[in-house]
A and B are shown apart, each in its own frame.
Chain A
Amino acid sequence: KNQVEQSPQSLIILEGKNCTLQCNYTVSPFSNLRWYKQDTGRGPVSLTIMTFSENTKSNGRYTATLDADTKQSSLHITASQLSDSASYICVVSPYSSASKIIFGSGTRLSIRP
């Protein structure tokens, strides 16, 4: 079982609409949780980073939340734009290891005009 699971696997929404992507993890304890955006053919780019004690972090139209009790995180995108079409990856850094961070499989988001 993957230690970081994301849902949905893919999502299509209309431009201007909001959406929420989910991440469930079993990694514990963890140092931080990040959300990355990966455009097709590009490397991942960091959107947000939260330590275990933080509940929310915003970056423009992106807002990440973290519930350490239920081991869930979400990424909310407001007023979606065509350029938001990408894969969004949840990444958890175990407390015990600086290198073996764990990536989810990502949610493939497509924005339609």
Chain B
Amino acid sequence: GAGVSQSPRYKVAKRGQDVALRCDPISGHVSLFWYQQALGQGPEFLTYFQNEAQLDKSGLPSDRFFAERPEGSVSTLKIQRTQQEDSAVYLCASSSKGFGNTEAFFGQGTRLTVV
């Protein structure tokens, strides 16, 4: 596709429910990043993939958060037993190399609201 695509755009989940957020990166981009953005704040790093390898998951806030990219393209961020503090916009970005000096492109994000 022309850009990074995320789905769904909006998700409302009841507390305790599991959710799955999808990211379709730009075709051919080897690096994929997930960020969490709370209202009025800058994005905060969650995890980083290079192809199918998850090289850094140090930003995942708890073991309820899990991300995968099994074929090195589409990625899914899964949140189990959602809690109210998980409410945020989840942004995905991809780049042709590491974030480094190369351009990284962001999707529009998925706004998750836990009620």
Contacts and interface: CB of A to CB of B under 8 A. Distances in A.
Contacts, number: 62
Interface stretch (B11-19, B64-72, B77-85, B93-101): B93-101
A105 B42 contact: yes
B104 A46 contact: yes
Interface string B19-56: 00000000000010101000011111100100000011
A44 B106 contact: yes
B112 interface: no
Contacts of B103: 46, 49
Interface residues of B, number: 28
A-side interface size class: 20 to 34
Interface of B: 4, 31, 33, 35, 40-45, 48, 55-56, 58-59, 91, 93, 98-101, 103-104, 106-109, 111
